[in-house]
Amino acid sequence: MAAADLNTVRATIESRLATELQSSPSIPVVFNNVSYSPTPNSSWVQCLLNFGANEYLSQGLTTDSQNRIVGAIVINIFTPAGVGSGANYTIGGRIRDLYNRIIVSGVYFDAPIGPEVVGTPAPEGYFQTQVRVTFEFIEEL
Amino acid sequence: MATIRGEQGTVQFDAAGSSNATIVGTRSWSLSITKETLDTSKHGDTFRSFVGSMISGSGTVELVYDPDATGQAAFLEDVLTTADPADATFELFTTGSTSGTDSVSFAGIITDMEITSTVGELVIVSCNFITSGAITSNLE
């Protein structure tokens, strides 16, 4: 038993998305703290991962004990503006299927929210939707 | 003076009563000790009087179910022991896991086991027990 390696959890989550979006049709994906200048009128995806609350799960302080670590992934999907929403929702469907109620390397993904249309795209000039997925990981000490 | 939080606690158990070991994944425990009383009031008394009699205890241990967690299977399956001789031993710790310190120990019988599986939640096991024989308190 050991404390959770949050970077391993991050890699588990992000690599799943990176691998999927590398497959045809390939779509650029950008993660936290990575600079990216999108090509106008192209499709691309931004993945923002955040760890949130931790809570006690069992007794025992630092030995033979467990914590629940929860987090959320916010995935912004950008597709060209003015050409309908089909391409965007196709990407959204791929992403949703990637996490929907799946357990990977001890990370439990909940049923995703979205894709929801974002009224004011950021950056401007795209049609933007957002998929949000909460997850949890049980840390065993 | 030091207050104690629940996460400092531990439950140790041995179905055979020889060597208690920590049950990994214990979420909570509770113990209630009851002393029966005998009425010693006599004719002419105007106030009722009592003496203490038999002492017994009961309680609950709740687990976050993990089939691989040390000690869980033996604990929750003890309810299936037929003709239970009450040879299982328990030690409930408010803090730490040093036998005889900050704990209550006793032999007992697990009388109920309930395992609950709910969508979106952790699987939880709840076991009720009663004590059998002496209860030793080291809660000072």
Residue given tokens 């009031």 in the structure block = B41
For residue A122, pLDDT beyond 70: yes
For residue B99, pLDDT beyond 90: yes
What b/e string do you get for B55-82 counting C-beta neighbours within 10 Å, with b at 16 or more? eebbbebbbbbbeebebbeebbebbeee
Any domain includes B107: yes
**Count of C-beta atoms within a 10 Å radius of residue A90:** 13
Residue % of chain B over a pLDDT of 90: 90
Q: How confident is the model at residue A123 (pLDDT cuts 50, 70, 90)?
A: confident
Enumerate the β-bridge partners of residue B118: none
Q: How confident is the model at residue B17 (pLDDT cuts 50, 70, 90)?
A: confident
**Interface residue B94 vs chain A (CB under 8 A):** no
Q: What is the pLDDT of residue B1?
A: 61
Q: What is the pLDDT of residue A1?
A: 58
Q: How many domains does chain B have?
A: 1
Q: Are B135 and B106 in contact (CB under 8 A)?
A: yes
Q: What is the pLDDT of residue B108?
A: 96
Domain of B104? 8-38+47-138
Question: Which of B103, B122, B124 to substitute to test the interface with A, most A CBs within 10 Å?
Answer: B122
For residue B72, pLDDT beyond 90: yes
Any domain includes B2: no
**Interface residue B122 vs chain A (CB under 8 A):** yes
Domains in chain A, CATH or no CATH each: 6-33+40-140 (3.30.2000.10)
Q: Are A140 and A92 in contact (CB under 8 A)?
A: no
**Count of C-beta atoms within a 10 Å radius of residue A103:** 9
Q: Which of A58, A68, A110 sits opposite B25 (nearest CB)?
A: A58
Continuous H helices in A1-141: 6-22, 86-99
Write the CB contacts of B77 (distance below 8 Å, at least 6 apart in sequence). B113
Mean pLDDT of the A99-105 span? 92
For residue B40, pLDDT beyond 80: yes
Mean pLDDT of the A49-60 span? 91
Among the listed residues B37, B34, B57, the one whose alpha carbon sits nearest the alpha carbon of residue B108: B57
The domain that holds B98 is classified in CATH as 2.30.110
Contact map slice: A 81-120 vs B, CB within 8 A? 110
CB contact under 8 A, B27 and A57: yes
